[in-house]
A and B are shown apart, each in its own frame.
Chain A
Amino acid sequence: MVLVEEDRSKSENNSNEKNADNSQYECNICLDTARDAVISLCGHLFCWPCLHKWLETRPNNQTCPVCKSAISKEKVIPLYGRNCTDKKDPRDKVPPRPQGQRTEAPRNNFFGSGLDGLHVSFGIGAFPFSFFASTFNITTENRMPAPAPGSTQYAEEQFLSRIFLIVAIIFIIWILLA
C-alpha cells in the first residue's frame, strides 16, 4: 500500500517535472508546446503556423513578437528533434501567400517619374551615381519582402533589373565617349 502511494507521488513528481520542462519549449504566440517549431535569430521559439500568421498580420513591420528585433521568413531556423519523423522544413508547410500579379507601386513610380528625372539631371555630373543608387536600392529599409524565387513576380523583377543594368551601362559608355 505504502509502495503504491510512493509510486503515485513519484509519477506525480515526474509529470510536474515534465510540465516544467515543456514550458521552456512553449511557442511565444499560442503559449502551447511549439509544433513545427522554428527559432528566430534572436533566439525566440515559435510554432511556424503562429509566426507565419504574425508576419502576415504585419507585412510592413516584421518584428519579433518577443523582443521586436527584425525578423523574416528567411531569418528563422527550423528545429528538428531526434525523434522527429517529419524532416520537411516547416516553413514549406504553410503555403506562402499567393503573389499578386500587379507590379509594386514604388517601382512603378521609379519607371514613370524616374525617367522624367533623368532628363532634368542630364547636365549634372553625379547623375549616374544617383541612378545607380536608385537602381540597386541602396537604402533597404522598409522594402517589401522579396518575392519567392520561381514566382512570376520574381522573374519579372529579374527581367526589369537586367534592363535597368543594361540601360545604365549604355549611359556610362555614352558619357565616357562623349
Chain B
Amino acid sequence: MVSIATARIKREFKEVVTSDELTKCKIKLELLNDNFTELKGEIGGPPDTPYEGGTYQLEIKIPETYPFNPPKVRFLTKIWHPNISSVTGAICLDILKDQWAAAMTLRTVLLSLQALLATPEPDDPQDAVVANQYKTNNKIFVKTARHWTNIYAGSTLAAEPEFDSKVKQLIDMGFDNHKSRVALSSHLWNVEHAIESLYN
C-alpha cells in the first residue's frame, strides 16, 4: 500500500511543477529519491530585499507522518538572516514547528520561506548574532546580507568590494575563507575584532 505521505508528495509535486509560480516567484521543487522522502527546493530571493537576485537551495525531508507533521527544511545555501542559522541553515519558522497544519503543502512552505526572507522576525531569532545586528546596526546588516547573497547565492547585484578585500586580508593571514567571512560579518566588519575572535 502506498503511504499517505508518498501519495501526497506525488500530488503536490505535480501541483508545483504545473503552477505558474514556478516562473513568477522563482520556486522549484526537485525529487532526490524514488520514495519521495527527500526533495530539493529552490527559492529566489524576493525583490527589494538584500536577498534579491540570489537563488537559495533547500533540503527538504519528508517524515513518514507527513502531512500530519511538518517537513524538515534547511537552507543549503548560506544566508545572513535573523531566522536562519548562518552555520547550519536551520530555520526558525512557526509553521515548520508547532503552527504546522495538515492542509499546508510544500508549495505553501516554499512561499512562506520566501516571505520570511522579505520580513525577518528578529524577536524570534535562530541566529542571535544576526538578529542583534539586524536590530542595532541595520545598515551593516543589509550590506552583509547583500554581500552573502552575492558570494553564496549567485547574485550579480551590487557587491561590497571593501568586504571582499577585508576577507582577502584574513585569507592571506591563513584563515579559512568562509570562517573569515563569518567572523567579519559577526563583528561589524571590524578586522581586528574578527581576527581576535578567530584566534579564540
Contact = CB atoms under 8 A, between A and B. Distances in A.
A44 B102 CA distance: 12
Nearest to A47: B4
A28, A29, A31, A54, most chain B CB atoms within 10 A: A31
A54 B102 contact: yes
Interface residues on A, range: 10 to 19
Nearest to B4: A30
A53 interface: yes
A94 B103 CA distance: 21
A130 B7 CA distance: 53
B8 interface: yes
Interface string A48-60: 0010011001000
A64 B102 CA distance: 9
A32 interface: yes
B82 interface: no
Interface in A65-115: 65-66, 68
A153 interface: no
B11 interface: yes
B13 to A, nearest CB: 11
A66 to B, nearest CB: 4
Contacts of B98: 61
B102 A29 contact: yes
Interface of B: 4, 7-8, 11-12, 65, 67-69, 98, 101-105
Interface of A: 28-32, 44, 50, 53-54, 57, 61, 63-66, 68
A57 B65 CA distance: 10
A28 B103 contact: yes
B154 to A, nearest CB: 33
A66 B101 CA distance: 7
A154 to B, nearest CB: 27
Contacts of B4: 30, 50
Contacts of B8: 30-31
B101 A63 contact: yes
Given A30-B8, A53-B68, A57-B102, 9 more contacts: A28-B102, A28-B103, A30-B4, A31-B8, A31-B105, A44-B103, A50-B4, A57-B69, A65-B101
A76 to B, nearest CB: 14
A53 B69 CA distance: 11
11 contacts: A30-B4, A30-B67, A31-B8, A31-B12, A32-B7, A50-B4, A57-B65, A57-B102, A61-B98, A65-B102, A66-B101
Contacts of B105: 31
